[in-house]
Amino acid sequence: MHPSAALIAAFCPTGKLRASINLGNPLLAGLDCADEPVGVSVDIARELATRLGVGIELLIFEKAAQSVEAVREERADIGFFAVDPARGAGIAFTHPYLLIEGCYLVREQSALQDNHAVDQSHNRVVVGAGSAYDLFLTRELKQAQIVRASSSQTVVRTFIEQGAEVAAGVRQQLQADAQQHAGLRLFEQSFMTIQQAMGLPAARGEAPARWLADFVEQLKADGFIGQSLQRHSVTGVSIAPVMR
């Protein structure tokens, strides 16, 4: 995978790779003690810049929706997103590199015991605004009311403050938040599988999109993704199957 000058120019019109990094999913990115971005998506972005032979600029966003817009508007050259039809316009996605579980959280005394019982008119489901599970549940829930917290990190706090019936989110985030509050229960069964992929502006053309897709498959196959997960102590996720 030796990129041509034309391919590099298509990827990096400013001469460096501008990578959109979303802090909304702490499994993939966060800030270290020096407020520097770290995580799986940061590792992948740096590796891509190395293989392209260019410098890198990390553009940091607090929410997935902001990160998506940066790529769609070509303020960023690549990003890391959960694949969703609502995000498809203007972005070319790779196949996923990680599979993450979306789950429900309720109070210990709640009568709700499984996913099927959630979609009732008297239930309020708190989600992170613009998150993958917000987009999914907006389509899937027909009766329950969706309450949008400002971010994925504030879902449980909003759930508690508003006395809502259900919180929805990434399993690990809900587990971590639930440890800070007594009397909460996480459903064992996930309600969705979040397919985490890379994306670039569709306007860049088919050749960069194919090259990026091949890059992701190589990282899955050669162990780079697994090593990054281990380095950042990320557990409870699955590396997506290699697509040949």
- The CATH number of the domain where 26 resides is what? 3.40.190.10
One domain for residues 66 and 87: yes
**If you compute the radius of gyration of the chain from its CA atoms, what whole number of angstroms results?**
19
One domain for residues 93 and 112: no
One domain for residues 223 and 187: no
pLDDT at 57: 96
pLDDT at 13: 94
pLDDT at 1: 64
244 assigned to some structural domain: no
One domain for residues 168 and 228: no
Q: Which domain holds residue 207?
A: 5-98+195-239
One domain for residues 40 and 161: no
Helical ranges in 39-154 per DSSP H: 40-52, 64-72, 132-140
pLDDT at 151: 86
Give every CB contact of residue 90 below 8 A, 6+ residues apart in sequence: 72, 201, 202, 203
pLDDT at 24: 81
Cβ atoms of 45 and 215 closer than 8 Å: no
pLDDT beneath 50: ranges in the chain: none
pLDDT at 190: 95
One domain for residues 174 and 114: yes
Please, what's the largest Cα pairwise distance for the chain?
Answer: 61
One domain for residues 89 and 208: yes
Q: How many domains does the chain have?
A: 2
One domain for residues 106 and 93: no
Single pTM value for the model: 0.88
One domain for residues 188 and 200: no
pLDDT at 153: 85
Predicted confidence (pLDDT) per residue in 200-235, tens digit = 999 999 999 999 999 999 999 999 999 999 999 998
Report the alpha-carbon distance of residue 170 to residue 190 in Å, rounded: 9
pLDDT at 87: 78
pLDDT at 40: 96
